[in-house]
C-alpha cells in the first residue's frame, strides 16, 4: 500500500500517494482544496483504501489499468479484431476511459468505480448507445484479465448497469435527431450537385438506395449489374494507415438490392461518362488498383479496379468530398439538419410511409437487427396517426 502524505498549500490542505506506474513512470495521485488537515486526512484515507482495493484475498498483477489496456489492445484486439474495430476501441480508450480510469491499478477497479464512470458519462450527455459501447469495451477487456490471464479473480464490469430509460441526465443527451429531407429539399440539393458532379451519384445512392457513406464510396462497377438492375453491397471503404481500404460492410451486412428506374438511369449515364472520359484523357487517365491488403492505390500494385465514385480523370472521389457538399447544403441551401446519414434515414422513412414490408426495409438497409428499423417504423406510424386525427377534425 502506498504511503499517504499531507501538505498545506496556502490556506488549503492536499493529500498525495503513489499510484501504479504508467509507461514506466511513477504516478502520483493527489487532491487539494481541503479546509482542515483532518478533513484532508479523512478524504485521503478513503481514496487510498478505494485505490488499493484491499478487500481482495490474493495478490494480482500490479499493472496499471492504462498499461493493461495497451497490452489488451496489442495482444488480443489487434490479433482477433478488424482494424476498424481496433481504431474505434483505441479512440474510446484514449478519449474516454484512460483519462477517467487509467491511473487505477488493474486490481483496484471495483464495480463502484466503473459504475461511477458510466453514470458520469451519462450525466455529461452521452447517448445510451455510447454508454453501451463503453460498458461492452470494459466488460471485454476485463474479462480477458480474468480468463485467460488470471490477473484478477472476477470481472467488476459484470455488475455495472446502464442508467434507466426514465433517468434524466444533468446535460441533455447528445444524440442527434435524425432529420427527414423533403422532396423539395432533395430537388434543391440535386440541382446544386447535378449529373456529372462528383457528389451527384453518392447523394443518390444514399437517398434512393439507403447506402451508408462507406458503402457508397466502396462501389466498383463490378458490383453494379445494370441489366439485372441490382447493386451488390459487399464492402465498405475507410481510411487506414493513409490508404483508403476496403473491409466488410458494417455488421457484415452483405446484401444485394434492387434499384429503381431513376437510379438506373443515373448509374447508366455515369458509367457511359466514365468510359468516354477514358477515351478523352487517354494516357492521362488514372487507373486505380487494389492490393492484397485491400488498399486503393495508383502505384499499379494489385488488381485494377474501376470505382463508381470517381472524377473525370479516373481518380478516386474520396468520401471526404461529402464534407464540402454538406457545408454547401447547410449554408448555401439553408438546410442545417442535413447530414449524409439523413438521406439513408429518409430513404427508410419513405419506404415505410408507402407501406413497404418492414423486414424488406431491414434487409435493404442492412440494419443489424429489426429494432433499428422498428424505431423508424414507430416514428412513421405516429405521424400517420397524427395525420388521421387531423382528417377527423375536418369531419363535422
Question: Cα(348)–Cα(342) distance, rounded to whole angstroms?
Answer: 10
Round to whole Å and give the CA distance between 119 and 321: 38
Q: What percent of the chain has pLDDT over 90?
A: 53
Rounded to an integer, what distance in angstroms lies between the CA atom of residue 273 and that of residue 291? 26
Q: Out of 60-69, 96-105, 118-127, 326-335, which region has the weakest mean confidence (pLDDT)?
A: 60-69
Considering only CA atoms, which of 237, 240, 314 is closest in space to residue 275?
314
Q: Would you say residue 226 has pLDDT above 70? A: yes
Q: CB of 87 within 8 A of CB of 132?
A: no
Tally of CB atoms within 10 A around 278: 17
Given a cut of 70, whether residue 329 has pLDDT beyond it is yes
What pLDDT shows up at residue 168? 78
Lowest model confidence (mean pLDDT) among 122-126, 273-277, 384-388 = 384-388
Q: How confident is the model at residue 167 (pLDDT cuts 50, 70, 90)?
A: confident
Categorize the per-residue pLDDT at 392 as very low, low, confident or very high, splitting at 50, 70 and 90: low
Q: Are 266 and 200 in contact (CB under 8 A)?
A: yes
CA 349, CA 376: separation in Å to the nearest integer? 7
- Protein fold of 183-379: hpI Integrase; Chain A (1.10.443)
pLDDT band at 163, cuts 50/70/90?
confident
Higher pLDDT residue, 388 or 140?
140
Q: How far apart are CA 231 and CA 267, in angstroms?
A: 10
Alpha carbons 199 and 189: distance in angstroms, whole number = 10
Q: Please determine, for residue 1, whether its predicted confidence score (pLDDT) is greater than 50.
A: no
Which of the two residues, 123 and 205, has the higher pLDDT score? 205
Is residue 242 over pLDDT 60?
Answer: yes
Q: What is the pLDDT of residue 56?
A: 38
Q: What pLDDT score does 114 carry?
A: 94
Q: Which of 77-81, 273-277, 286-290 has the lowest average pLDDT?
A: 77-81
- Give yes or no for a contact between 179 and 342, defined as CB atoms under 8 angstroms apart: yes
d(CA 152, CA 309): 50
User: With 50 as the cut, is the pLDDT of residue 55 above it?
Assistant: no
Separation of CA 331 from chain center: 26
- Mean pLDDT score, 360-382: 78
Question: Does residue 320 have a pLDDT over 70?
Answer: yes
Cα distance between residue 100 and residue 134, in whole Å? 12
Measure the CA–CA gap between 111 and 88, rounded to whole angstroms: 24
Question: 199 or 148, which is more confident?
Answer: 199
Going by pLDDT thresholds of 50, 70 and 90, the confidence category of residue 385 is low
Query: For 98-121, what is the mean pLDDT?
Result: 91
Mean pLDDT of 170-190: 81
Q: Which residue has the cell 432529420?
A: 179
Radius of gyration, CA atoms only, the chain: 27
Would you list the domain boundaries of the chain?
Answer: 183-379
The reported pLDDT for the residue numbered 241 is: 81
Across the chain, the runs of DSSP E, i.e. the strands, are: 5-9, 12-22, 25-34, 224-225, 230-233, 236-240, 243-247, 255-258, 288-290, 296-297, 303-305
> In the predicted model, is pLDDT for residue 54 greater than 50?
no
pLDDT (mean) for 208-232: 96
Q: Which three cell numbers stand for residue 324?
A: 464540402
pLDDT of 218 strictly over 70: yes
pLDDT at residue 260, rounded to an integer: 95
Q: Quick check: 114 and 157 in contact, CB under 8 A? A: yes
Kindly tell me if the per-residue pLDDT of 173 is higher than 70: no
Mean pLDDT, all residues of the chain: 87
Which of 166-175, 201-210, 247-256 has maximum average pLDDT? 201-210
Give the pLDDT confidence score for residue 37 in this predicted structure: 87
Amino acid at each position: 500500500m502506498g504511503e499517504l502524505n499531507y501538505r498545506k498549500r496556502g490556506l488549503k490542505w492536499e493529500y498525495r500517494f503513489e499510484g501504479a506506474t504508467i509507461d514506466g513512470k511513477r504516478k502520483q495521485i493527489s487532491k487539494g482544496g481541503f479546509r482542515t488537515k483532518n478533513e484532508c486526512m479523512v478524504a485521503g484515507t478513503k481514496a487510498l483504501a478505494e485505490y488499493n482495493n484491499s478487500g481482495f484475498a490474493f495478490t494480482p498483477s500490479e499493472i496499471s489499468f492504462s498499461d493493461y489496456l495497451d497490452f489488451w489492445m496489442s495482444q488480443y484486439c489487434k490479433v482477433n479484431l478488424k482494424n476498424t474495430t481496433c481504431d474505434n476501441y483505441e479512440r474510446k480508450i484514449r478519449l474516454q476511459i484512460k483519462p477517467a480510469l487509467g491511473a487505477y491499478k488493474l486490481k483496484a477497479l471495483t464495480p463502484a468505480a466503473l459504475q461511477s464512470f458510466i453514470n458520469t458519462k451519462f450525466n455529461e450527455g452521452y447517448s445510451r448507445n455510447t454508454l453501451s459501447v463503453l460498458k461492452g469495451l470494459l466488460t471485454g477487456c476485463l474479462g480477458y484479465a480474468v480468463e485467460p490471464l488470471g490477473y484478477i479473480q472476477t470481472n467488476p464490469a459484470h455488475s455495472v448497469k446502464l442508467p434507466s430509460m426514465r433517468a434524466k441526465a444533468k446535460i441533455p443527451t447528445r444524440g442527434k435527431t435524425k432529420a427527414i429531407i423533403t422532396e423539395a429539399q432533395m430537388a434543391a440539393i440535386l440541382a446544386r450537385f447535378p449529373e456529372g458532379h462528383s457528389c451527384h451519384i453518392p447523394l443518390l445512392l444514399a437517398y434512393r438506395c439507403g447506402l451508408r457513406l462507406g458503402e457508397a464510396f466502396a462501389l466498383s462497377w463490378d458490383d453494379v449489374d445494370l441489366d439485372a438492375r441490382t447493386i451488390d453491397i459487399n464492402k465498405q471503404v475507410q481510411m487506414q494507415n493513409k490508404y483508403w481500404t476496403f473491409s466488410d460492410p458494417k455488421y457484415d451486412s452483405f446484401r444485394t438490392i434492387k434499384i429503381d428506374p431513376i437510379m438506373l438511369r443515373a448509374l447508366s449515364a455515369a458509367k457511359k461518362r466514365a468510359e468516354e472520359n477514358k477515351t478523352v484523357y487517354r494516357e492521362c487517365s488514372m487507373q486505380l488498383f487494389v492490393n492484397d491488403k485491400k488498399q486503393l492505390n495508383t502505384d499499379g500494385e494489385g488488381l485494377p479496379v474501376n470505382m463508381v465514385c470517381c472524377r473525370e480523370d479516373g481518380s478516386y472521389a474520396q468520401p471526404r468530398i461529402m464534407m464540402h457538399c454538406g457545408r454547401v447544403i447547410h449554408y448555401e441551401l439553408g438546410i442545417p439538419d442535413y447530414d449524409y446519414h439523413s438521406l439513408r434515414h429518409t430513404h427508410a422513412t419513405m419506404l415505410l410511409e408507402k407501406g413497404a414490408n418492414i423486414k424488406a426495409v431491414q434487409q435493404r438497409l442492412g440494419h443489424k437487427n429489426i429494432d433499428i428499423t422498428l424505431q423508424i417504423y414507430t416514428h412513421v406510424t405516429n405521424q400517420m396517426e397524427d395525420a388521421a386525427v387531423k382528417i377527423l377534425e375536418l369531419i363535422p
